[in-house]
Every structure is written in C-alpha cells, then in structure tokens.
Amino acid sequence: MKSIQMKFVLFIVVYIALILLVSCSNQLTSMTNKEVKYLIGVSQPNLIEPWRVVMNDEIKQYADTYSDLRVIFTDGGNDSKQQEEDLYKLMGFGIDILIVSLDDPILLTPTIAKIYSKIPVIVLGRGVTGYDYTLYIGTDNRLIGSKAAEYAKQLLGTEDNRIVEILGLQGSPTVEERSEGFREALLDRPDIAITQSIYADWQRDKSEDELTSSLETETDIDLIFAHNDAMALGASLALKNKGLSGVKIIGVDGVKGENGGLNLVKDGTLIGTFTSPTGGGEAIRYALDILNKEKGIPKKIILRSHQITGGNINVYEEMQSSAQRKPIRLITEAEPIKIGFAQVGVEGGWRLAHTNSVITAAKEEGIELLYENAFLQQDKQIEIIRKFIASKVDFIVFSPVVKTGWDEVLQEAKLAGIPVILSDREVKVSDDSLWTSYIGSDFVEEGRRSARWLIQEMKDVTEPVNIVELQGTKGSDPAVGRKQGFEEIINNELDYSIVQSLQGDFTIETGKQLMLEALANYGSDIDVVYSHNDDMALGAVEAIEQYGLKPGKDIKIISIDATRAALKALGIGKLSFVVECNPLLGPQLMKAVKDYMAGKELPMKIITSEGVFTQETAKRALATWEY
Ligand code: AHR
C-alpha cells in the first residue's frame, strides 16, 4: 500500500514537473520567436579596410536598437570564392534578408542574382550589373572622381604636373567610375599628366608595396589620388620610407577611427578626402521596410559625398554629431510647410500623373503647395523659381525642362537658404550643393533595359536590325539618359544600327510627325522603333497604321513610361515592350520634405524601383494600374 502511495506521489511530482517543463519550454520558444523576428545576414569582402569596419559598426549600432533583430556577419578574407561560400552559408542559416558588399562585383553578380530569386538583397557600396537585387545603397563614384580632380586642379601649379592614381580592384565598376570621373575632369588641363596607374585592390599594404617598387625608378610626383583612404595611407608610408615629402595625397572614404580618413586629414597625412558614407544605418532601416513590406521602396539610394580638408574638418565633425541636428523650424497648422512646385509642362499622360501625385500627396500631408507650370519653357521655369524665392517658401521643387542653365537661379535659392529638390529630372550644374536631393528614375538604366530586351527578342534574327529612335526634349535629362543607356548596349551588337534618330518633345503629335518622316525615308526597312516615351510611341502607332503597316508586328515598338494608354496598346499587340518610369513621386517627395524639416540629411538621390512589361504582364497589370 505504502509503495502504491509512493508511486502515486512520484507520478504526481513527475507530472507537475513535466507540465512545468512544457510550459517553460513553450514560453522559451515563444520568447525566442518574439525575440528574433528577422535574421539578417551581412557579408563583407574583407575587414582590413577601416571603411568596412565602420560599416559593420554602423549596421550593428542601428540593429541593436531593435530587440527582435539578429545580425550574422561574415568576412570574405579578400577572396571572392570565400565570399561566395559565406553567402551560401548565410542562406543555410535561414536569413530573411541579405546585406552584401561585394569583393569582385563581376564574379559575384550571378550568385547575387540567384540569392535574389529567393530573398531580398541590399547591395552596399559596390554595385552589381543588371536589375537583380532589391536595393543598392552607395555614392556617386563618377562624381567623387570628378570632385577629386577639381580639387587636384586647385592644388597644383600651372606647369608640368605629375599625378599617380592608385586604384581599387581592377574591373570593379566603382573603380572604373571613380577613375573615369577623375580623368574626364582633368581633360581641360594639358599641364597635368597621370603618369602611373597602380591597382592596389583597396589594400593599404599593397598600395605601399606597389608604390615603393615604382619609386625605385620614378620619384617625380606632385600629387597622388588614391581611390580610398587605406591605399592613400599606404602611399604615404611608401613616400616616407623613400624620404620624399611635399607630395599631396587625396583619398576617399573619410571615416572616423585611428586610421580613418578624418584622422589622416587632421594629422596632415592627407591633404583632403571625399567622404563615401558606408550606408550601414540606412541598410538596416530599409531592410526593415522591405521585410515589413512597406510600399515605395526605392531601387537605389545615392548618399552625398563631402569634401574634407584641414579647413573644414571641424565644421564637418560638428555637423555629423547628432546633437547638432535640430528641426529646421516649428511646423504648426497656421504655419505649415510651404513648397513651391515649378512643373515642367503638360506634355502627356505621364506628366499629368506626376502633377496629380505631387498635389494629392501634399494635401494628404497638410503641406501647402504653390503650383505653377512652365509649359516646356526654361525662361518661364526660372521666372517661377524666382517668384518662389521671393515668397520665401520652405522648399523649391521642380522638374527641369533641360539639364543645363540653372546655376544662377539655384545660387539665388541657396543664398536665400531655400533647399531645392529635383523631382523626376536632374540638372547639370558646376556645384552640386546647389540642390539638396533628386527623387526620380534612372534614365540610363531605362535605356539599357530597353536595349537588353531587344537583343533577347531578336536573338534568332540573322538579318541586320534597323532602328528608328524618337528622342524626347532636346537636352532634357530623360532624353540624354535614355539615349546613352540604349546606345551603350546596342553599340556592342554588330548587326544593329540606329538608322535615324529624330528630335521630339515627348508629345503624341511629334511622335506621329517624326515617325511619318522616318517612314518616308526608310519605309518597311524599319524593324524597330525605340521611343523615349509612351506619348511619342502612341503617335508612332498612328503613323505606322496610316502608312499601311501593322505596329507591333511589322515594326516592333519599345517605349518608356508605362501609362495605362500604353499598357492597353501593349496588351493588344500594338506596342512590343514597355519600360516603367514611375510618375507617382508625390509620397516620397513629401516624406523627404518632412525628414529634412525634422533635421535629417537627405540622400543625394532616391531612385525609384521600376518594372518592365510584355504583352502578357501588361494585361495583368492593367487591372490595378494607377496611371
Ligand atoms: O521626365 C520624365 C519624362 O517626362 C517622361 O518619360 C515623359 O513622358 C515626360 O514628359
């Protein structure tokens, strides 16, 4: 009896213990689930460069502010094969999103494309080619190169100047862009020669070794431009070992830390550097937006680079300290944010959608919008901007009719302390601090995407391919970019030729008139029309029908914009392929305006994410298409 009692007590104890254990482990599981909502993988190509250490620190610091995020970091040890293995290892851990900075972007692009087919991918710092990634965050490398050249020109005398350029990894797009920007900007100075180009793979030690061996035969150097501060430091060590002084060294990166560019400028090792923000904090912020399926995620975020010299380093550091970032002014119902919006024109359906998006978004955010239209005239647009300056608006927003000719009026806006946001089109001015931010498309990429589709579509055609190009407004950003991107791809194909490139203005009327002209010249020899926008493409459809041919069948038509009218025409086969250019920029614009007023630094460029359409996908998209 006693033993039965004992057994019963034992049973009860074990039972209670089991219940406690199960409930405890459930709690643990639910706690773990609650704790780790998202697992983020961060793959670095190396951690030798101080810039990458700072990037990881920023990622960690920002991620630590969220209790439900976990981040796993890997270090590729400067070896693309190792980085590829790391990437698959991270996938094996079940990461929800990948943040990657690439060792060799050319080698690793296919791996990134594979991962992107499974999870979102944010590429930091060094871009991949194509469109197979979720978001790119980086700087404008061509601009950094050209700013470095402008600085070098100021520093050098007027006779017989010799520069050594120390580049990162050969073949990397970042390196090509920095170098091209640098060289192009030196073209107007025949007294400056780049006497040597040394590839040092972004590494301090390699830079030191390579320069040391080159100094054995040549020591006549006035200035060194190194593509990053680590290599700039390596160069300075080589010069020091050789006992050479007086060579000015310009670097790129400008990060904090013992061997970071800011310290190197302070201690005089570098004469100057150009900041290349790592984008670590932005990467986490956007990773969360992507994982939480927020709308309006951009395709590219381009961060602004600042020139740092001994003369401005203290001001720069003060500006960077968060304590200094204060809201611009108090916003009340009586005194809401006031924007002056100088729209470019009323060319067609796309522009109407753009105008409506800005007006509606301002209304929704309680922002006062002064709206005026320049009807495609630059003089008128300048006059409107001057009017807004006189009205002391908080912001000026405009879509420039052409790229050039804005220096003076933007200088006036700057003097009046009014920030300028470029909505949908960029300008070309001598000083990029004349505008605060650009929000819109990547027109060059739109041109490339059009050409890539054409080459794929015509891959079995053995005859030469004759193309007619209908260009948008002369000198406008979209016309220049779309032409450039299309030609960049087409020029590699021997059998493709643009038989006629005609100057239009984005309207349906010119599209029709120019197409009639092309048909009169080339008739049915035309295989393809590449139109810089939908309105001109729809005009071309009318012209081709009038001529007695079938648009989309006898002549393929590629267009850009993706308005409803164009998607309908594509759905019934009158157009062949449409690349999206998103006009619904109002919400992102208002967000930028509010961020700026709250004291945040805006990215230099926010590039929208855009799709492409074939006949099938166009039909499906039409059901919900907004413009
Ligand atoms: O700047 C964007 C372009 O301007 C659109 O593609 C075109 O339709 C508009 O006129």
Measured in Å, residue 165 CA sits from the centre of ligand 1 at 39
pLDDT over 80 (residue 3): no
DSSP, residue by residue, 378-434 = HHHHHHHHHHHHHTT-SEEEE--SSSSS-HHHHHHHHHTT--EEEES-----S-GGG
For residue 364, what is the enclosing H or E element?
helix 349-364
Nearest residue to 164 via CA among 212, 103, 128, 92:
212
Residue with tokens 């024109």: 345
Q: Ligand 1 center to residue 235 CA distance, Å?
A: 47
143 contacts 252 by C-beta, under 8 angstroms: no
173 vs 283, higher pLDDT: 283
Give the ligand 1 atom nearest the CA of 424. 1
535 Cα nearest atom in ligand 1: 8
- Distance (Å) from CA 264 to ligand 1 centroid: 45
Task: pLDDT band for 32, please (50, 70, 90 cuts).
Answer: very low
Cα separation, 498 vs 152, in Å, equals 40
Band of the pLDDT at 571, cuts 50, 70, 90? very high
Tell me, in angstroms, the distance from the centre of ligand 1 to residue 473's CA: 9
Residue 456 to residues 70, 289, 493, Cα–Cα distance (Å): 41, 34, 12
Q: Which of 346, 350, 443, 579 to mutate to test the pocket of ligand 1 (most atoms within 8 A of CB)?
A: 350
pLDDT above 90 (res 170): no
Residue 322 is predicted with a pLDDT of 64
pLDDT digits (tens, 9 = 90+) for 374-395: 999 999 999 999 999 999 999 9
What pLDDT was estimated at residue 318?
87
Two tokens, residue 391: 């009205």
Residue 103 is predicted with a pLDDT of 83
pLDDT band for 233, please (50, 70, 90 cuts): very high
Angle at 8 (CA atoms; ends 7, 9), nearest 5 degrees? 95
Q: 397 C-alpha to center of ligand 1: Å?
A: 16
- Looking at ligand 1, which atom is closest to the CA of residue 345? 10
CB atoms within 10 A of CB 13: 10
Least confident of 10-24, 173-187, 589-603: 10-24
170 alpha carbon – ligand 1 mean position (Å): 37
Residue 63's CB: how many other CB atoms inside 10 A?
Answer: 21
Q: Give the Cα-Cα-Cα angle 588, 592, 598 (nearest 5 degrees).
A: 145
Per-residue b/e over 457-472, b at no fewer than 16 CB within 10 Å?
Answer: bbeeeeeebbbbbbbb
pLDDT score, position 376 = 95
Q: Which of 343, 344, 346, 347 to mutate to test the pocket of ligand 1 (most atoms within 8 A of CB)?
A: 347
Average pLDDT over residues 431-451: 96
User: Atom 3 of ligand 1 has which residue's CA nearest to it?
Assistant: 478
Residue 47 has pLDDT above 60, yes or no: yes
pLDDT surpassing 50 at residue 28? no
At residue 128, does pLDDT exceed 80?
A: no
End-to-end C-alpha distance for the chain, whole angstroms: 85
Give the model confidence (pLDDT) of 456-501 as tens digits. Answer: 999 999 999 999 999 999 999 999 999 999 999 999 999 999 999 9
Q: Pocket around ligand 1: residues whose beta carbon is below 6 Å from it?
A: 347-348, 350-351, 424-425, 478, 506, 533, 535, 560-561, 581
**Ligand 1 centre distance from Cα of residue 478 (Å):** 7
pTM score of the predicted model: 0.86
Closest-lying ligand 1 atom to the alpha carbon of residue 476: 1
Q: How far is the CA of 493 from the centre of ligand 1 (A)?
A: 28
pLDDT value, residue 24: 37
Task: Reply yes or no on whether the pLDDT at 8 is more than 90.
Answer: no
